[in-house]
Amino acid sequence: MELPVPNARAATQREGPGLPAAAAELFGRRLLVQTGKGGVGKSSVTAALALMARRRGKRVLVCEVNGGGRIPALLGVPAGGPRVVEALPGLFCVDVRPHEAMIEYGLMKLKSAALVNAVLENRVMRYFLKALPTLAEVVTMGKILFHVREQAGGRPRFDLVLVDAPATGHCLALLRVPATVLATVPEGPLRDDLRWMAAMLEDPAQTAVNIVSLPEELPIDETLELAAALRAGEIPMGVCFLNAIWPSRFSAAELPLLPDDVFWRPVRETVRRMEARADLCAVERRRLVSGLDLPVVDLPHVCVERFGREAVESLSRAAEQGLDATAALREARP
Ligand X SMILES: Nc1ncnc2c1ncn2[C@@H]1O[C@H](COP(=O)(O)OP(=O)(O)O)[C@@H](O)[C@H]1O
Interface residues for ligand X in 19-38 (CB under 6 A)? 38
Nearest distance in Å: CB 41, ligand X: 4
Nearest distance in Å: CB 244, ligand X: 4
DSSP secondary-structure letter at 306? S
Applying CB under 6 A, the site for ligand X has a residue count of 15
Instruction: Calculate ∠ Cα 59-61-63, nearest 5°.
Output: 170
Q: Cα–Cα distance between 178 and 139 in angstroms, integer?
A: 10
The reply on whether position 244 binds ligand X by CB under 6 A is yes
Contact 22, 323 (CB under 8 A): yes
Is the Cβ of residue 47 or residue 278 nearer to Mg ion in the bound state?
47
Is the Cβ of residue 207 or residue 243 nearer to Mg ion in the bound state?
243
Candidates 3, 21, 31, 40; binder of ligand X (CB under 6 A) is 40
The reply on whether position 210 binds ligand X by CB under 6 A is no
Contact 260, 205 (CB under 8 A): no
Which range of residues in 20-28, 143-151, 272-280, 295-303 is near ligand X by CB under 6 A? Answer: 295-303
Is the Cβ of residue 69 or residue 233 nearer to ligand X in the bound state?
69
The reply on whether position 307 binds ligand X by CB under 6 A is yes
Q: Which stretches within the chain are classed as H helix?
A: 8-15, 21-27, 42-55, 70-75, 98-110, 113-120, 123-131, 133-149, 168-182, 189-202, 217-232, 265-291, 309-332
In angstroms, how far is the first alpha carbon of the chain from the final one?
A: 11
Is the Cβ of residue 105 or residue 241 nearer to Mg ion in the bound state?
241
The reply on whether position 43 binds Mg ion by CB under 5 A is yes
Nearest distance in Å: CB 43, Mg ion: 3
Other Cβ atoms closer than 10 A to 109:
13
Q: Cα–Cα distance between 236 and 148 in angstroms, integer?
A: 16
| Site residues, Mg ion (CB under 5 A) | 42-43
Give residues in contact with ligand X (CB under 6 A): 38-44, 70, 243-244, 299, 301-302, 307, 315
